[in-house]
Chain A
Amino acid sequence: MYGSWANRLLLVPATVWLLVMLVLPLLVVIIFSFGERGTAGGYVPAFTLEQYANLSARFTAFKNTLLLAPTGTFLCLLVAYPLAYFLAVKVHPKWKTLLLVMIIVPFWTSILIRTYAWIFILGGQGLPKVLGFLGIEGVRLINTPTAVLIGIVYAYLPLMVFPVYVSLEKLDKRLLEAASDLGSSPIEAFRNVTLPLSIPGVATGCMLVFILLMGEFLIPALLGGGKVFFIGNALVDLFLQSRNWAYGSAVAATLVIIMLVTVSIYMKLVVRNQQ
């Protein structure tokens, strides 16, 4: 259809954009992570592992993230699985698209506004006050790990529902009939047939949610009130307040490495098993 030169020409803007705005900045982060901090902040060229050796200075942020990100992922899965199962197996096909669209739509609207809604709900003038009227006094929700976890499940649920739904939707219903013909109870059939076959979807959902949670900033910033501190919050502090670019780059590079390890474990366990 197009001569080869025309084809190359079409690729020019995308190539330039990906190089300048993706590849180059990521390389800069890697280079800076081996550098030193300037006296007035910023970066001084050097080759040292000092920044990486010093990672434990932000131990709390790493600990919180590595504790709450998997917990949040697991809670997402707990809430999402029954919903995905219902949508894939029980719902009339006529309603499926509408119900799926209704799950995905909130995911694309402003996460900032949706998280703000929870400040409103969990804050002192919201749910705790309502509970106060009902006689349950002294409930504190905002600025606790619980609030952060609620915010996480709320924000990332759609991302978990979709892959699980897709894996359950593909499931061959005849396998369940076969299981029941061979004397399995519905619960046994679920445990021995449905659950194992939905594992790839579960793994995909968990990987997606976990990766994005590792870089989360807004939810802990708004619902954790500075007490529940993620790596993302440490990064904002390092780059926008203390301007320690070299150390910040090392933290960011470590974050990317954790994410890459997650993806490669996922690839090994799931993608290869499927082939």
Chain B
Amino acid sequence: MRIYTLAVYLFLYIPIGIIVLFSFNAGRHASDFHGFSIKWYGTVLANPFAMEALATSLIVASTTAVLASIFGTMAALALQKVKGRIRAIYDAAIYIAIMIPGIVIGIATLIALVTAFKFLNPVLENFWPGFLGDAPHLNMGYASVIASHTMFTMALVIVIVRARISGMDRALIEASADLYATPWRTFWQVTLPQIFPAILAGFLLSFTFSFDDFIIAFFVAGTETTLPLYVFSSIRRGVTPEINAIGTMVLTVSLTLLITAQFLLRGRGSQSSTQ
């Protein structure tokens, strides 16, 4: 039993280990290990396409994480007051957003936005006030990737923050009201500090999801290239040690954020048990 468990953990972690190991391999292939070298990292850092894709991914992921954690927290706070049918509709939409495969979201968003833009662009051109310069031309790109990622990750933040709210001590809010604090002040001094770890965990998970997402961006990124899109097209051109170096960097980023998020969400458990 123990041996079996160990074997499964090895199965989960060996591929990750191999990527990391061979990113430091001076040779080109898995079968020729030529000793330790960081030259592939140098190649990646000197590659303008990889660096541009990295910049795009960082912009998309940070914007997504900010939007998702603000809108998600707002919705989670508001939804505790919503009851009955309307609440059931929101819950259904949130679960559909989380459960539906990325590929369906990608396709649906692509055709919906391209169609909408086809109608909106002539309208914009005709009615755009001239003193504002040329009319903007709506197209797939940063905004569509961010909008799509925000939809999914916002649903995730709602679920995480809502779980934290339901574990919160109601008496504190009542006490705050009894002491004549305004609702706004109660929010800043009582509610927010209590739900903050959950918001931060939601932020980190949103960033990780957006940074790692391939399939949605594949459909809605237009001419932009995020890092996963760049890696995918590199793999299509052939396996190179450069991809190992990018992979190691990507894994390091996600692992750091994930472990921080886990730590924050676990802190929740121990905190509420001491209250």
Give the B-binding residues of A (Cβ under 8 A). Answer: 1-2, 4, 7-8, 10-11, 13-15, 17-18, 20-26, 28-29, 32, 43, 79, 82-83, 86-87, 90, 97, 101-106, 108-114, 116-121, 123, 125-126, 129-130, 154, 157-158, 211-212, 214-218, 222, 232, 235-236, 239-240, 245, 248-249, 252, 255-256, 259, 263
Contact = CB atoms under 8 A, between A and B. Distances in A.
Contacts of A21: 109, 147-148, 150-151
Interface stretch (B11-19, B40-48, B119-127, B130-138): B11-19
A17 B31 contact: no
Give the interface SS of chain B, mostly helix, strand, loop or mixed.
helix
B75 A113 contact: no
B171 interface: no
7 contacts: A21-B148, A24-B112, A97-B266, A105-B255, A110-B254, A112-B232, A129-B30
A239 to B, nearest CB: 6
Contact of A25 (B93, B108, B186): B108
B1 A82 contact: yes
Contact of A106 (B16, B115, B154, B177): B16
A116 B93 contact: no
Contact of B71 (A8, A14, A121): A14
B88 interface: no
Nearest to B252: A109
A87 B1 CA distance: 10
Contacts, number: 223
A11 B75 contact: yes
Size range of the chain B interface in the assembly: 35 or more
B175 interface: no
Interface of B: 1-2, 4-5, 8-9, 11-13, 15-16, 18-19, 22, 29-31, 70-72, 74-75, 77-79, 81-82, 93-94, 96-97, 99-105, 107-113, 115, 147-148, 150-151, 154-155, 158, 173, 177, 183, 186-187, 205, 208-209, 212, 214-215, 218-219, 228, 231-232, 235, 239, 243-244, 246-247, 250-251, 254-255, 258-259, 262, 266
B258 A108 contact: yes
B167 to A, nearest CB: 17
Given A116-B247, A117-B15, A121-B15, A10 B77 contact: yes
B239 A119 contact: yes
Among B13, B70, B103, B112, residue most surrounded by chain A Cβ atoms (within 10 Å): B103
A121 to B, nearest CB: 6
Given A86-B4, A126-B30, A217 B74 contact: no
A23 B115 CA distance: 15
A162 to B, nearest CB: 14
